[in-house]
Amino acid sequence: MSTKRITGPEIEKLIQLLAKVPGLGPRSARRAALHMIKKKNQLMAPLAAALSEAAEKVTVCSVCGNADTVDPCSICTDPRRDGATLIVVEDVADLWALERAGAMNAKYHVLGGTLSPLDGVGPDDLNIRSLVDRVGAEGTSELILAVNATVEGQTTAHYITDQLGDTGVRVTRLAHGVPVGGELDYLDEGTLSAALRSRTSF
């Protein structure tokens, strides 16, 4: 690796920062930078402006934990949403994924992670207390635990259910089964067992 300068320090710095974006490595960051240099007015300048505006305006919804530019967020203030159903997710990315599916018209609650004693993540590090408060204050009738099907996710789900014990809210979880479009041959035993146990009439 040569230490000689081959381009301006501003461009080198841009490449270094681009390499930190998930999905881009050092090599693709260089390619991305060159592409943007060629598309300076169509991509580079607008992206700079969009990043700067987003960095300035982005905020975390104080009600549900969604990322938005207003607080409370667009979902929490949407009058067409069914506020009686709350979907509990680990992360904002999960919220957005469920919204893309468009299957429910509910509101959300972002935990901000899962319980993980080994990593030092306890109940007070997650938005669990605010969830319990919301269920009481908003008169939630159903709480859908859309946490990941991992040990940590399931532990967190159990902890939340315990905390909600006496509120009378109906607590549900996502169905386990064969992914739509999935091939049985490629699925693990746990998923196949769950799909068999939860079989439905055809």
Of the candidate spans 72-80, 118-126, 159-167, 181-189, the one that interacts with a copy of itself by CB under 8 A turns out to be 72-80
143, 150 Cβ separation under 8 angstroms: no
Count of residues that bind a copy of itself according to CB under 8 A:
63
Choosing from 62, 74, 193, 198, the residue that interacts with a copy of itself (CB under 8 A) is 74
Q: Which is nearer to a copy of itself, 14 or 144 (CB)?
A: 14
Question: Shortest approach of a copy of itself to residue 86 CB, angstroms?
Answer: 15
User: Which of 166, 70, 152 has its CA nearest to residue 112?
Assistant: 152
Task: Give the tokens for residue 186.
Answer: 């490629």
Choosing from 62, 70, 119, 151, the residue that interacts with a copy of itself (CB under 8 A) is 70
What span, in angstroms and rounded, lies between the C-alpha atoms of 160 and 171?
9
**Percent of the chain that is helix, strand, coil (3-state, to 5):** 45, 15, 40
Question: Shortest approach of a copy of itself to residue 84 CB, angstroms?
Answer: 17
Q: Is residue 73 at the binding interface for a copy of itself, with CB under 8 A as the rule?
A: yes
Q: Is residue 100 at the binding interface for a copy of itself, with CB under 8 A as the rule?
A: yes
Choosing from 63, 64, 68, 156, the residue that interacts with a copy of itself (CB under 8 A) is 68
Instruction: Give every CB contact of residue 46 below 8 A, 6+ residues apart in sequence.
Output: none
Question: Shortest approach of a copy of itself to residue 39 CB, angstroms?
Answer: 8
Region of residue 179 (phi > 0: left; psi between -120 and 50: alpha; otherwise: beta) = beta
Q: Is residue 152 at the binding interface for a copy of itself, with CB under 8 A as the rule?
A: no
End-to-end CA distance of the chain: 63
Q: Is residue 84 at the binding interface for a copy of itself, with CB under 8 A as the rule?
A: no
Complete edge-to-edge strand list for the sheet that includes strand 170-173 = 106-110, 82-89, 142-145, 170-173
Instruction: Say which DSSP state 105 is in.
Output: -
Of the candidate spans 92-100, 115-123, 150-158, 193-201, the one that interacts with a copy of itself by CB under 8 A turns out to be 92-100
The footprint of a copy of itself (CB under 8 A) covers 1-2, 4-11, 13-14, 17-18, 20-24, 28-37, 40, 43-55, 57-58, 66-70, 73-75, 78, 80, 91-93, 95-96, 99-100, 102
